């Protein structure tokens, strides 16, 4: 690795130190050992974020035991056919080999007494293998292996922008989050493995997910899509008790409303608490609209000692928190845990990529895992498999690409605004901006149960934050500077989400509209894409190229299945008048 001052050269640069970033780097390095492969991470690679603090589940498709056609059909149908079926096929074809590589690289999975993988039920129709000890030892194993084979890591450096010129990405610029040094990474190929954005929820591992990759790709001119879709999870409302939601409901945990009643079977009779994200959170919301919530509780008091032991195997850090909070005593849960719907989590969204996860609009740029739109699958397995496919492709391309020259003027034009909050004598603290963004988009009647009026009002608030608060943020030190960039990126992602949600005039997956309650495969079997156009956000609908896919939706319009269920139950489907007034903060 050649380094001169804070200018660092590499053949392949990966941004993000989660499972996607590690698998991309390891795959590329193993395929072409002579390549210089580097990973840059704003925290500590392998130790933070959802990959390390995951809920113990790796949703692998294993070809020796699982039904390919069944998995394929379920994945397509769960996305209401609004997906890239070729990428789903690629994911299933590569899932087994990637799983074996993870084991070879040191990741351990829970096995039973017979030596078989434990694959308990979870959300949806398929289970998943369990990480032995959870995500922390899995990521430590990957990090150790990557360093052993020569992958270089640069921790605690926040990348702020892609260096792009003439339609090609030539590297990135960033700064040290402790010392404030400016860094320039020059690379032949750059990969975004930066995850999604959850707008800094209470849960551990989510606070670093601030849409950094989405924002820098947008500013560089990439085409993005899928921000109209949100998969809202459910989490502890009062205490930081995650992760582990898939395991909790898979092992038989159930939800109680304010009356102490189980209710999920009413909304999804087949799966009840194991219903997908796109059913679970909206059901919470309807309970609230009907006056039966809040609070809502997750009840695990009936768990046997064997189930408690299973949780200790895969989510030990969550169990420690339960003990400290007095929720878990010995081998029993002694009280239920208050739960709430998560705020909007745009997913599956990101950079529009080809089948091998190259950006459709910028040469030299890859996007994997949750940084890519229309991917083969989500979760840890989706990140790992997409990164393996992309890493192998990048390793094959890199030797034929010349090392780019650094455009000094371009670097200065990126660095100057990036460091500006440090130079302000006075201004707005990043925490204020982050809270303002959350107040605008987190209410359930904005992101989950949507309407034109409320989405437009929230967008107006985000535009005010973008224009009048983001430019005035002040940073006292490099840590605050990182928070300022996270806040700025969150504001941009919120604008992407709300603008895209307004563009879709139907209900589909996690896009539930009160004013457009039909699932419309006649007029809205389309992706919502966006791109920067002369400083403005251009949003448009693009037809799904379904003619090349083997599974086709019925070309019909019908009341969305969730709304069908709500109407069959006789529940109201309108947010009370004036609900949006509760979040007003006196903005124009």
d(CA 427, CA 408): 29
Q: Tell me the two tokens of residue 152.
A: 């270089």
d(CA 328, CA 317): 13
d(CA 155, CA 255): 40
Sheet strand arrangement including 234-236: 234-236, 337-341, 296-299, 254-256
Q: Which of 246, 247, 318 is nearest to 276 (CA)?
A: 246
d(CA 450, CA 510): 10
Q: Where are the alpha helices (DSSP H) in 398-477?
A: 408-423, 430-441, 444-447, 452-468
- Helix (H) / strand (E) element for 323: namely helix 316-324
pLDDT in tens, the chain (588 residues): 333 458 999 999 999 999 999 999 999 999 999 999 999 999 999 988 788 877 778 888 999 999 999 999 988 988 889 999 999 999 999 999 999 999 999 999 999 889 899 887 777 656 678 889 888 999 999 999 999 999 999 999 999 999 999 999 999 999 999 999 999 999 999 999 999 888 888 777 777 889 999 999 999 999 999 999 887 888 888 877 777 788 899 899 999 999 999 999 999 999 999 988 889 999 999 999 999 999 999 999 999 999 999 999 888 888 998 999 999 999 999 999 999 988 777 778 999 999 999 999 899 999 999 999 988 888 899 999 999 999 999 999 999 999 888 888 889 999 999 999 999 999 999 999 999 999 999 999 999 999 999 999 999 999 999 999 999 999 999 999 999 999 999 999 999 999 999 999 999 988 899 999 999 999 999 999 999 999 999 999 999 998 999 999 999 999 999 999 999 999 976 765 444 444 444 444
The residue with tokens 């402790």 is 178
* Phi, psi at 448, each rounded to 5°: -105, -60
Q: What contacts 271, CB < 8 A, 6 or more positions away?
A: 123, 124, 125, 279
Tell me how long the chain is: 588
d(CA 176, CA 455): 37
Q: What contacts 377, CB < 8 A, 6 or more positions away?
A: 59, 75, 88, 91, 385, 386
Burial class (CB in 10 A: 0-12, 13-18, 19+), 447: buried
Antiparallel, parallel or unpaired: β 182-192 and 7-15: parallel
Q: Tell me the two tokens of residue 523.
A: 């007029």
Complete domains list, the chain, with CATH: 234-341 (3.90.700.10)
Which whole-number Å values give the CA distances from 289 to 439, 441, 497, in the listed order?
19, 18, 24
* Phi, psi at 117, each rounded to 5°: -65, 135
Cβ proximity of 170 and 186 under 8 Å: yes
Q: Tell me the two tokens of residue 549.
A: 């896919």
| Predicted local distance difference test score (pLDDT) of residue 582 | 40
Q: Tell me the two tokens of residue 261.
A: 């009643």
Q: 104: how many CB neighbours lie within 10 A of its CB?
A: 9
Q: Which of 248, 247, 255, 240 is nearest to 324 (CA)?
A: 240
| Predicted local distance difference test score (pLDDT) of residue 236 | 84
| Predicted local distance difference test score (pLDDT) of residue 126 | 67
DSSP class of 118: P
| Predicted local distance difference test score (pLDDT) of residue 177 | 96
Q: 408: how many CB neighbours lie within 10 A of its CB?
A: 9
The residue with tokens 């006075």 is 426
Task: Report the SS3 class of residue 90.
Answer: helix
Rounded to 10 deg, the angle between the 408-423 and 478-503 helix axes is 100
Burial class (CB in 10 A: 0-12, 13-18, 19+), 576: exposed
- Measured over the CA atoms of residue 131, residue 140, residue 330 and residue 333, the dihedral's sign is negative
Which whole-number Å values give the CA distances from 581 to 439, 574, 576, 584, in the listed order?
12, 15, 11, 5
Distance, CA of 15 to chain centre: 15
Cβ proximity of 423 and 478 under 8 Å: no
Task: Report the SS3 class of residue 26.
Answer: helix
| Predicted local distance difference test score (pLDDT) of residue 588 | 43
| Predicted local distance difference test score (pLDDT) of residue 60 | 87
User: Whole-model pTM above 0.85?
Assistant: yes
Q: Which of 527, 520, 519, 532 is nearest to 503 (CA)?
A: 527
């Amino acid at each position: 690795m050649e380094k001169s001052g804070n200018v660092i050269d590499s053949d392949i640069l990966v941004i993000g130190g989660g499972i996607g970033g590690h698998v991309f780097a390891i795959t590329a390095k193993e395929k072409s050992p002579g390549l210089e492969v580097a990973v840059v991470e704003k925290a500590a690679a392998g130790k933070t974020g959802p990959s390390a603090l995951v809920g113990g589940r790796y949703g692998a498709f294993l070809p020796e035991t699982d039904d390919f056609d069944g998995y394929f059909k379920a994945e397509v149908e769960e996305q209401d056919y609004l997906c890239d079926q070729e990428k789903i096929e690629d994911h299933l074809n590569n899932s087994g080999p990637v799983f074996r590589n993870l084991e070879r690289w040191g990741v351990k999975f829970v096995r039973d007494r017979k030596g078989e993988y434990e694959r308990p039920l979870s959300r949806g129709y398929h289970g998943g293998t369990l990480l032995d000890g959870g995500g922390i030892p899995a990521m430590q194993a990957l990090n150790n292996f990557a360093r052993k084979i020569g992958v270089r890591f640069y921790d605690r450096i926040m990348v702020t922008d892609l260096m792009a010129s003439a339609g090609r990405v030539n590297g990135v610029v960033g700064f040290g989050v402790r010392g404030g040094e400016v860094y320039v990474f020059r690379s032949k190929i750059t990969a975004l493995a930066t995850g999604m954005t959850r707008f800094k929820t209470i849960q551990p591992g989510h606070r670093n997910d601030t849409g950094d990759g989405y924002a820098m790709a947008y500013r560089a001119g990439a085409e993005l899509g899928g921000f109209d879709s949100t998969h809202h999870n459910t989490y502890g409302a009062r205490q930081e008790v995650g992760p582990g939601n898939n395991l909790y409901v898979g092992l038989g945990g159930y939800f109680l409303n304010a009356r102490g009643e189980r209710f999920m079977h009413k909304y999804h009779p087949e799966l009840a608490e194991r219903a997908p994200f796109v059913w679970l959170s909206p059901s919470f919301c309807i309970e609230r609209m009907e006056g039966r919530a809040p609070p809502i509780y997750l009840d695990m008091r009936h768990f046997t000692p064997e189930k408690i032991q299973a949780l200790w195997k895969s989510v030990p850090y969550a169990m420690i928190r339960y003990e400290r909070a007095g929720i878990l005593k010995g081998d029993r849960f002694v009280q239920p845990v208050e739960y709430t719907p998560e705020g909007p989590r745009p997913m599956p969204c990101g950079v529009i990529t080809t089948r091998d996860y190259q950006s459709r609009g910028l040469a030299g740029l890859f996007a994997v895992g949750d940084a890519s739109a229309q991917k083969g699958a989500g979760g840890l397995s989706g990140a790992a498999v997409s990164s393996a496919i992309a890493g192998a492709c990048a390793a094959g391309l890199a030797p034929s690409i010349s090392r780019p020259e650094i455009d000094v003027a371009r670097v200065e034009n990126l660095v100057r605004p990036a460091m500006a909050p440090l130079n302000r004598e006075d201004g707005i603290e990043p925490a204020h901006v982050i809270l303002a963004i959350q107040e605008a988009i987190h209410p359930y009647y904005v992101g989950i149960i949507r309407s034109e009026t409320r989405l437009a009002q929230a967008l107006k608030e985000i535009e005010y934050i973008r224009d009048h608060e983001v430019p005035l943020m002040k940073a006292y030190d490099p840590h605050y500077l990182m928070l300022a960039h996270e806040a700025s990126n969150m504001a941009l992602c919120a604008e992407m989400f709300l603008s895209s949600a307004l563009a879709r005039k139907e209900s589909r997956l996690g896009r539930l509209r009160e004013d457009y309650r039909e699932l419309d495969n006649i007029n809205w079997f389309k992706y919502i894409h966006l791109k920067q156009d002369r400083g403005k956000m251009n949003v448009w609908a693009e037809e799904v190229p379904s003619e090349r896919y083997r599974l086709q939706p019925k070309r019909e319009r019908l009341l969305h299945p969730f709304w069908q269920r709500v109407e069959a139950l006789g529940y109201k489907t309108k947010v009370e008048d004036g609900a949006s007034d509760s979040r007003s903060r006196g903005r124009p």
